[in-house]
Amino acid sequence: MENFNNYLKIINEAIAGIDLKQQPQNLYLPIAYSLGMGGKRLRPVLTLAACDLFGGDIKNALNAAVGLEIFHNFTLVHDDIMDAAPLRRGEKTVYKKWDSNVAILSGDTMFAIALQQITNTGHPKLKDVLQVFIQTAIEVCEGQQFDMDFENRSDVSISEYLEMIRLKTAVLLGASLKIGALLANAGEDQTRLIYDFGINAGIAFQLKDDWLDAFGDEAKFGKSIGGDIVANKKTFLYLKCLELANPTDRELLIQLFGSSHSSKHNKVDQVLDLFEKYRIKEATIQEMEKFFGMSIRSINQVDAPVEKKNMLSGFAEMLYKRDK
């Protein structure tokens, strides 16, 4: 993972080097705070990796990579308002540290700064890059809206759920890779393959997130098990269990997810018992493997040096096999 650590370093230096204005303070301090929270910088790392995969110079992709990370952070700032989330990466969210208005407006400005970074890409493919980025930005908003809509719906299907996580999470990973490939002048079939790799790996990552919430090792996971269950989140696990359960257990599961009355541990334990009864752990692994397998098949078809492809698929595997 030598290269990937190097990419991360380059990204973090570029983000730290952005010359944000000072005034108005209530606009720019929250932006600096959000960008300074760190994180895995997964999206820009993938942009640089895809650019290198196709023989491009990663310097050509750095502006776009940074723009994609700023865009991702913008979505987090706005999502945290909508989800009333007090904490992110252990720190207060922008909307909690300041207020909703500050979070709305500094988020809007981050969207514009993201775009500024991407537009600074001095490359003949700029229009293609922008079209991928804009299409993705719209899809990410659609994914967030579907996610919010699902909270009030009792008839969400597994395919709708998979489509929601594709939009909310996977398309930005796919786009980050595709934009790196475009900036290395990769051809259309190649950019499609690397996009598909990102989409399917992204869906597998999100299913893994759901899985860890219920079946992770609490000590390694770093937060308590069952957060999604407590929050009545209709994850793949819940939807699969609804599909497999007998009518009585189905009723029980719906009832457990319909109320916040049952004491926390009791509720989590009851749901986990149902998950065990219907082998949801195994069913989820099967689904994850399906998407992860598709992602590997896509990257294997890419026309690039095998050691570079192995680096990228190894990186994806490391993320996929994570236990926290």
What residues make contact with a second copy under the rule CB under 8 A? 21, 23-24, 26-27, 78, 81-82, 100-101, 104-105, 107-109, 111-113, 115-116, 119, 126-127, 130-131, 134-135, 137-138, 141-142, 144-146, 148-149
DSSP secondary structure string for all residues of 79-142: HHHHTT--EETTEE-HHHHS-HHHHHHHHHHHHHHHHHHHHT---TTHHHHHHHHHHHHHHHHH
Judged by DSSP in three states, 144 sits in helix
Report the residue number, 106 or 295, with the smaller CB distance to a second copy: 106
Shortest reach from residue 110's CB to a second copy, in Å:
10
Tell me how far, at minimum, the Cβ of 208 lies from a second copy, in Å: 25
The DSSP code sequence of 223-269 is S-TTHHHHTT---HHHHHHHHHS-HHHHHHHHHHHH-S-S-HHHHHH
Measured CA to CA, the distance from residue 124 to residue 25 in angstroms comes to: 36
- Find the shortest distance in angstroms from Cβ 78 to a second copy: 6
Q: Bridge partners of 91?
A: 88
Q: Least distance from C-beta 271 to a second copy, angstroms? A: 27
Burial of 265 (0-12, 13-18, 19+ CB in 10 A): exposed
C-beta closer to a second copy: residue 144 or 235: 144
Alpha-carbon gap, residue 32 to 34, rounded angstroms: 6
CB of 104 to a second copy, least distance (A): 6
Q: Whole-number minimum distance, CB 155 to a second copy, in Å? A: 15
Q: Which is nearer to a second copy, 3 or 100 (CB)?
A: 100
The H or E element spanning position 87 is strand 87-88
Residues 6+ apart with CB under 8 A from 40: none
Q: Are 246 and 254 in contact (CB under 8 A)?
A: no
Residue 224 identity: S
> CB-wise, 21 or 290, nearer to a second copy?
21
Please say which residue, 168 or 308, places its beta carbon nearer to a second copy: 168
Give residue 199's identity as a one-letter amino acid code.
I
Minimum CB–partner distance for residue 130 and a second copy (Å): 5
User: Which CB sits closer to a second copy, 134 or 318?
Assistant: 134
CB of 3 to a second copy, least distance (A): 31
Of 71 and 211, nearer to a second copy (C-beta) is 71
Helices and strands per DSSP (H, E), number in the chain: 17, 2
- Map residue 92 onto helix, strand or coil: strand
Output 152 or 248, the one with its CB closest to a second copy: 152
